[in-house]
Structure 1
Amino acid sequence: MKLIVWHGADVQFFGIDWVGINPENGRKLMLSAVFVIAILVTSGLVRWLVGRVLARGDYASTQTKFWTRQGFSLMSTIFLILGLLSIWFNDPTRLATAFGLVSAGLAFALQQVVTSVAGYFVILRGSTFTVGDRISMGGVRGDVVRLGFIQTTIMEMGQPPSIQGADPAMWVKSRQFTGRIVTVANAKIFAEPVFNYTRDFPFIWEEMAIPITYQADRGRVEEIMLEAAKLHGIDPNAMASEAKADLQVRLGIEPIELDPRVFFRITDNWLELTVRFIAATHQIRGVKDAMSRHIIVGLDKAGIGIASATYDIVGFPPVELRASQVSQTDRAIVP
């Protein structure tokens, strides 16, 4: 008994007629497998060669490597899709019919996947972010380490105390890496805002608040805070002129104050002095640590303390002490 029997254009396997299996489809299947292997091998070889060439040059930055790999991935995907379509659909009418059916099925069953792929091209075309940018996307804050067709991979960072209650909770109380790698669907860019800390302006405004008593030398405290901000923050005069031009011209933002400044705020318990300054996005915690140490030393030298929530007792109500009356019998008993 023969296992495989050919009946014209059909195939009989174990006595069963298999629909759609014929010599033509077999040849197409073999050709498709060879074509897919050839594309994968060629793409891997070209990316390996380009990586070796870029590694030897002075311009081998992370951005260059990333966009080179992305370019080859896109080209390989396009060639692969066109090649498979040419192999299996040599009739344009059949191709249009199949494409319509597949599109309808994908739109219904894979909505998130299709949206994520569309988000990928929007990210590339709209310059939303790229690898190395510090962003906040889908409730995740951190640096982009990988950008795929469906997901974006982010090296998560901690959160300042003011937003520690955010979901998910953080144990790192500043903008430093937590060690967790988080993947976020590209579809999030259509539903939520994306905050980019580095794309167009690689600096960020920060603030530090110091409470002092109303009797303290507030002028001296202001001098100490400004001195710390100018010493450890970014000098506006040393900033790249291109960055300031992008901020003020290309983005349509009017010239704004970049020099450090101290602001006063009156409260019920103390006078709050807040210094506003500019720092590099990836150096916030180090800068604030250095400024805190500088301010504490300056306050100690000036004999100025930091105010805290205390209570002053201004008086007591009068206290009257009365001697208790003891009976004659009790006095006799007492030795």
Structure 2
Amino acid sequence: MTEIELLKEWVSANPLAMSVIKFVIVLLVVLFAIQLIRRYLKKKIANTVIRYKAQKGIEILGYTLLVILAIIYFSGSIKDFTIIIGLFTAGMAFTLQELILSIAGSVYIFLVKVYQPGDRIEINGIKGDVIDVDSIYTTMMEIGEWVSSDNYTGRIVKLSNAFVFKGPIYNYSQDFPFIWDEFNLPIRYGSDIDLAKSIIIKIASETLSEYTANSKHDWEKVVNKYYIEDAQIDPTLAISLTDNWIQFNLRYIVDFKKRRYIKHLLNDKIRVEIEKTNGKIILASATVELIKIPDINVNLDSNNKV
């Protein structure tokens, strides 16, 4: 027998194996087409956000097509499609609950727009910038932890999409990419308080003018979209009296990615201006004041002998 005759005989004797081989060929063709389209989009689309979404969309469509083809191909008839889907769903729901919940979470994230790449979020106690969202995981560049303020730790965290159903999600950038921040300045009693107030408000207004102007427009959109009261956007200064000093509390709005830098800038500028007052304004520190030393009477009797 020739090789062709042997192959025909093997195919007739193993129809299931031949079906699998045909499906593998279809699978490879579809996967190759997905990668080809992804490369084409990468070259043709300049905008990073649009390119990322287009590539993810092609992946989802391609994998969905493969699942449908597999079900139809091995069922042998389109009329069995709903039956197979039901059996498949029942089995998978029991054995792969977490995986199914993750996939459902990815659909929920995409449809509801809970967050997207580029957003800064906190979920399940982990805070960071979202750098990728796929069908199973959300990938984040972590911030905080042992690093002070909002700096990157260098760790990349993969978090199951199922967590969108299990707790709160804090989004620092969606709808309103600004946050309120504040810090305290202790001023010694006896300082020129009015001068101190004018210096702090002037520096804050000048330094934060760009953020204040940009945030007002975005905040108007938030007020119109949600049931929320209007808020004070301009820098505000509150004063409280303590046992040791007069405490100045400066509250202001800033870009969520520049919180640490702006706080440093404000502190440094205020320090320089206070030093120029030549002692009219003095920053306070914790001190201990002795009010009175009790009198001590010492009697020396010259008649006492050792």
CA RMSD of aligned residues (A): 2.6
Secondary structure at the counterpart of residue 209 of structure 1? strand
Whole-Å separation in 2 of the counterparts to 1:147 and 1:46? 20
Q: Which amino acid aligns with 1:267?
A: T
C-alpha distance 109-324 of structure 1, shift in aligned 2 (>3 A): farther
**Which residue of 2 is the match for residue 198 of structure 1?**
173
Report if the CA contact (8 A) 1:234-1:280 is conserved.
Answer: no
Shift of 1:187: 1.0
1:28 equivalent to 2:19? Answer yes
1:52 equivalent to 2:29? Answer no
**Which residue of 1 is the match for residue 3 of structure 2?**
none
Secondary structure at the counterpart of residue 181 of structure 1? strand
Which stretch of structure 1 is more off in the superposition, 227-236 or 198-207?
A: 227-236
**Which residue of 1 is the match for residue 72 of structure 2?**
86
**Which residue of 2 is the match for residue 298 of structure 1?**
273
Q: Which amino acid aligns with 1:201?
A: F
Shift of 1:171: 2.2
Whole-Å separation in 2 of the counterparts to 1:282 and 1:126? 24
In terms of fraction of residues, the more helix-rich structure is 2
Deviations 1:266-314 (A, max 9, x none): 3232221111111111111111111110011111112222222221111
Whole-Å separation in 1 of the counterparts to 2:18 and 2:217? 59
C-alpha distance 28-242 of structure 1, shift in aligned 2 (>3 A): farther
Identity %: 28
Instruction: Give 5+ residue unaligned stretches, structure 2.
Output: 1-9
Report if the CA contact (8 A) 1:204-1:279 is conserved.
Answer: yes
Pick one of 247, 250, 264 that aligns with 1:289: 264
Whole-Å separation in 2 of the counterparts to 1:137 and 1:240? 25
C-alpha distance 123-323 of structure 1, shift in aligned 2 (>3 A): same
Instruction: Give 5+ residue unaligned stretches, structure 1.
Output: 1-9, 12-20, 55-59, 159-169, 331-335
Whole-Å separation in 2 of the counterparts to 1:70 and 1:254? 37
1:257 equivalent to 2:232? Answer yes
**Which residue of 1 is the match for residue 221 of structure 2?**
246
**Which residue of 2 is the match for residue 74 of structure 1?**
60
Shift of 1:325: 8.7
**Which residue of 2 is the match for residue 317 of structure 1?**
294
Q: Which amino acid aligns with 1:229?
A: A
**Which residue of 2 is the match for residue 122 of structure 1?**
108
Secondary structure at the counterpart of residue 309 of structure 1? coil
Which stretch of structure 1 is more off in the superposition, 183-192 or 212-221?
A: 212-221
Q: Which amino acid aligns with 1:48?
A: R
Aligned residue pair count: 296
TM-score of the two chains, using structure 1 as the length reference = 0.81
Deviations 1:218-258 (A, max 9, x none): 22222122122122224466327752331221234343321
C-alpha distance 143-296 of structure 1, shift in aligned 2 (>3 A): same
